[in-house]
Amino acid sequence: ITKQTTLMNFFKKS
Amino acid sequence: MFEARLVQSAILKKVLDAIKDLLTEATFECSDSGIQVQAMDNAHVSLVSLNLRSDGFDKYRCDRNLSMGMSIACMSKILRCAGSEDTVTLRALDNPENIVFIFESPNKEKLAEYEMKLINMDQEHLGIPETSYSCIVKMPSQEFSRICRDLSQFGESITFACSKEGIKFSASGDYGQATIKLAQTADADNEEEAVSVNMQEPVKLTFSCRYLNCFIKAGPLCAQVQLSMSNDVPLVCEYKIGDIGHIRYYLAPKIDD
């Protein structure tokens, strides 16, 4: 089973 | 005063077609250097980064920096009203509540103006670090579109596996499995048809078809698409927009739970 990550897992808010 | 003119409104139409399925609204940042948009879809799984350089416009004037929140659906409706040969001009005042789209026919006999209300938006900007990617694949955008559409029939996601040999796309679901392999093209006589693979390290990543099928709407903008990949980081899918700029889509991968 795969889980969808979000961009928040990789990029920081600036 | 902000004014930006493009002889080919068709470019802007294609740009809107390339973002309207992902974004409901977006902030257009206008400055001396051009127009930039950075916006995520509602689920924060994908991000659109659009850059249109001022020198790519036929006329460009931006006296002070502007942040204009726009409804993408409304903008798309307006651009559908432009004739395929029309010139488009975007115009706004310095503290704008509206933006005006002006379409002019090639013989200048028809002039259409559409005024759109701007919207106040919460700014949510992501810092995207400069990354050197393990694999960079360039391929015909039509081929990429075809692969995404074809494999979407077999599963909800597509696995991209890139090695020295080339790139392999695969999808699996209740009905079975489908795989498409593309090798690097031997002769690069026709740049538009070429497949090139620049690999530092093999990569294997899985992405949702739903988003990929939104990205391929940018296909009409450019004959080639560039896929930048590293393990466990978002995909970058880039289409050049003529000599004026680019659209980049970032897509968060699916991971094994």
Q: What is the pLDDT of residues B199-238, one digit of tens each?
A: 999 999 999 999 999 999 999 999 999 999 999 999 999 9
Shortest CA distance from A13: residue in chain B? B126
Residue-averaged pLDDT of chain B: 95
From residue B47, give the alpha-carbon distance in Å to each of A4, A11, B241: 14, 11, 17
B43, two tokens: 């689920």
- Pick the residue of A3, A4, A9, A14 with the most B CBs within 10 A to test the interface with B by mutation: A4
Q: What is the pLDDT of residues B95-111, one digit of tens each?
A: 889 999 999 999 999 99
Taking the alpha carbons at both ends of chain B, their separation in whole angstroms is 52
Beta strands B87-92 and B98-104: pairing type? antiparallel
Rounded average pLDDT over B114-132? 91
For residue B188, pLDDT over 70 is answered with no
Q: Which range among B74-78, B92-96, B158-162, B189-193 shows the weakest confidence by mean pLDDT?
A: B189-193
Packed helices B9-19 and B72-80: angle between N→C axes, nearest 10 degrees:
140
B242-B23-B29 Cα angle (round to 5): 60
Model confidence at B63, in pLDDT bands (50, 70, 90)?
very high
Chain A residues lying within 8 Å of B257, measured CB to CB? 1-3
B79, two tokens: 């651009």
Residue length of chain A = 14
Q: Give the gap in angstroms from C-alpha B205 to the nearest C-alpha of chain A.
A: 11
Identify the CA nearest to B175 among candidates B147, B207, B153. Answer: B153
Strand, coil or helix: B117:
strand
For residue B187, pLDDT over 80 is answered with no
Count of CB atoms within 10 A of residue B48's CB? 22
For residue A1, pLDDT over 90 is answered with no
For residue B1, pLDDT over 90 is answered with yes
Shortest CA distance from B211: residue in chain A? A4
- Helix (H) / strand (E) containing B110: none
